[in-house]
Amino acid sequence: MEQRREEGEEKRSENFMANSTFNDEIPANFGGTGSSIFDDKWGPTGFGFVDLLSVNHDFSPPIFDSLVQAPFLPPPPPLLPASASTAAPPLAPSQEVLIPSPASTVPESSEVLNTAPTTPNSASISSSSNEEQSKVGGDDGEQDQDDQKSKNKLKPKKKNPKRQREPRFAFMTKSEVDHLDDGFRWRKYGQKAVKNSPYPRSYYRCTTAGCGVKKRVERSSEDTTVVVTTYEGQHTHPCPITPRGSMGILTDAAGYGAASASLPFVVPQYFHHHQQQQRPYIISPSPSLNITASSGYNNPISFPSLIQERRVPPSMTSSVLLRDDGLLQDIVPSQMRNELKEE
DNA sequence: CGTCTTTGACCCGCGC
DNA sequence: GCGCGGGTCAAAGACG
C-alpha cells in the first residue's frame, strides 16, 4: 500500500515523461474492432486518429508528428481548410476513420488504423462520439444526480432505455506512468481487471463539483509502454492551475480564456517540467489544419498548448507565441513556430 | 479533517 | 435465464 502510494506520487510528478520508450506501433487493439479498449461502450462510434505528441527521451528536439482534425463530436463547425476537409470527411456514426497525417497518405479504413502513426515516438489520439446522447449527454449537470441516484444500490433503478455516455476521446501515450496528469483533478473511483490483459483499468472522475467528466486509464496489453486514456464528458470548468509549474493556460488569467475553445477536445497538459527527465513535447498543429472550436471549457480533455496556439488570432499568433515563449519555446518545435509566423 | 485510493460488491447490458 | 464482463458504488483505510 505504502509502496503504491509512493509510486503514485512519483507517477504524478513524472507524469507523461517518465522513461517512455517509443516505437512506431500502435497496439493492434487500439482503434481496432473488438478491443478491450474500444469496446462497444467506450469504443469509437466514430473517431479520428491523431498523432498527438512526440516524446523524445534523449532531449533531442521535439518531433512534430501531426495533428489533424478529427471528426469530433457534436458538430464542430467545419472550419477545416479544403485540404484537411478532404482528409477528414464527416463521419457517420459508428464509422471509424483514420485521419492520415499530413506526411502520409493512408486510406480511410479502420484496418489501417494501426499503421497510421508513421513517426516513431508518437502517441496517438482518437476521438469517439455517441450518436445517441440522451441522458448523460443531455445535461452535464445531471451527471452527479444520476450518480446520486445510483448510489442506493438497493433502490430499484430507473430502466433507462440505454445508458448514454458523453462524447469520448481517447488517446494513447507512451509512458510508464499510468495516470497522466492533465491538469485537472481526478478521483479514482474504481479499478477493474481487464480481460486478456495483465493490467488493470482505472476509472477516474473529475473532482470538480458539477463536472461529470470521467476518465478511463489502462495500459495496452500489446504494447505495455502504451497507456490509453479515454475521456468522457466535457469539463464545465477551467483547467485548474496545478502547482507543479504546469502551463495553466486555460485560464483567463492567461488572456485566452474566452477563446479557450480551439479544440473539440482537450488533452492533458504535458508540461510539467521534470528537470531530470525527458521533456514532454507538444505536437504542433499542422499549418494546414484547423482545430475547430467547441465552446468554453466544454472540452472533455484539454491540450493547453494546442489551445493556446490555436485560439490566438492569426494576427497575433506569432507575437503571442514569441512573447509567451517561456515554455513554448521548449515545447513547440521551431519549425512550428516558423510556420505560425508565416500565417 | 479533508482528500484520495483501494477494493469487494453490486448493477447492467449483452450474448448465448 | 444465466453467465460474463464492464462500469460504478461506497465503506474503509492511508496520508498530509
Grid coordinates representing A326?
A: 517561456
The residue whose CA lies nearest the C1' of nucleotide C15 is: A5
A151 touches strand B (CB under 7 A): no
pLDDT tens digit sequence for A220-278: 877 778 888 888 887 777 776 544 433 333 333 333 333 333 333 444 444 333 333 33
pLDDT tens digit sequence for A50-81: 333 333 333 332 222 333 333 333 333 333 33
Question: Band of the pLDDT at A99, cuts 50, 70, 90?
Answer: very low
Nearest nucleotide (CA of A159 to C1')? B12
The residue whose CA lies nearest the C1' of nucleotide B4 is: A187
CA of A104 to C1' of C13 (A): 52
Q: What percent of chain A has pLDDT over 90?
A: 0
For chain A, what is the mean pLDDT? 46
A151 touches strand C (CB under 7 A): yes
Residue A219 or residue A282, greater confidence: A219
pTM passes above 0.85: no
CA of A189 to C1' of B8 (A): 13
CA of A212 to C1' of C9 (A): 15
Spatial distance between the Cα atoms of A285 and A30, rounded to a whole number of angstroms: 22
Q: What percent of chain A has pLDDT over 70?
A: 20
Grid coordinates representing A94?
A: 459508428
CA of A185 to C1' of C6 (A): 24
Please check whether residue A47 is in contact with residue A128, taking contact to mean a CB–CB distance below 8 angstroms: yes
Residue A282 DSSP one-character state:
B
A147 touches strand C (CB under 7 A): yes
Q: Is A59 left (phi over 0), alpha (psi -120 to 50) or beta?
A: left
pLDDT tens digit sequence for A186-196: 889 989 888 88
Q: Tell me, what's the pLDDT at A240?
A: 65
Nearest nucleotide (CA of A196 to C1')? C5
Within 10 angstroms of residue A338's Cβ, the number of other Cβ atoms is 11
CA of A179 to C1' of B5 (A): 13
Question: If you average pLDDT over residues A92-101, what whole number do you get?
Answer: 33
Contacts of A321 (CB under 8 A, 6+ apart): A309, A312, A328, A332, A337, A340
Q: Tell me, what's the pLDDT at A220?
A: 80
The DSSP bridge pattern shows strands A95-96 and A168-174 to be unpaired
Spatial distance between the Cα atoms of A218 and A172, rounded to a whole number of angstroms: 10
